[in-house]
Amino acid sequence: MVAIIDYDAGNVRSVEKAFLKLGKKAEITRDPGTILGADHVVLPGVGNFGDAAEKLRRYGMDEVIRDVILKEIPFLGICVGMQLLFEKSEESPGIPGLAVFKGTCRRFREEPGIKVPQIGWNSIHMMNGGRLFRDIPSSYVYFVHSYYVEAEEEKIVTAVSKHGIIFHAAVEKDKVSAVQFHPEKSGEIGLRILRNFVDIK
């Protein structure tokens, strides 16, 4: 079963539908026992970094996520769910992230030809052998974001993309993976990425 963490911050239904399309049982929940008993756990997210971080803490999901990682249950962060795994964001100064990874979320700078937020399809280029991208070539996926992750450890970066600058589009370390784009909105490629995630044991 895939547990999708419910903390009032994301398009959880579309994530659920994507897993159901793969034939995987998925449950939207904030029950700690259900999450810790799942085979895979997903943290989706859209919206403001600070609001999302505070809701995670209000519902006690920050500690549950740490327990999931300690138990080595395969974990996937999506969009703001990726950003929350890092230390902080320019979007919400003074509000800490979960600090699972070292790094900062920074705002894209508007310049000629570069709109903020980035909304739509963009290419990703794989690196460092991430398991999410097994047997998947460099592809186009769907982004909606004004902020991007700048990971401190280059070796955890498994995909990059370009929007004015080259930015980190995916990371992976041990059983924790995260993507800035929305696999649930990225068509067949997105489903293949989610299938690779549920294949992680």
Q: Which two tokens stand for residue 81?
A: 């769910």
Q: Which position among 16, 91, 172, 184 bears the catalytic label?
A: 184
Q: Which long-range contacts (CB under 8 A, 24 or more apart) does 17-26 make?
A: 17/184, 18/183, 18/184, 18/190, 18/191, 18/194, 19/194, 19/198, 21/191, 22/191, 22/194, 22/195, 22/198, 24/198, 25/1, 26/1, 26/2
Distance CA 94, CA 96 (A): 6
Q: Which position among 40, 79, 105, 168 bears the catalytic label?
A: 79
Distance CA 116, CA 148 (A): 11
Distance CA 56, CA 60 (A): 6
Nearest by Cα to 43 from 2, 16, 70, 4 = 4
Nearest by Cα to 184 from 72, 26, 66 = 26
DSSP for 108-139, written as a single string: PPPBTTB-SSEEEEEEEEE-TT-GGGTT--SE
Active site residue 184: yes
Q: Which residues are catalytic?
A: 79, 182, 184
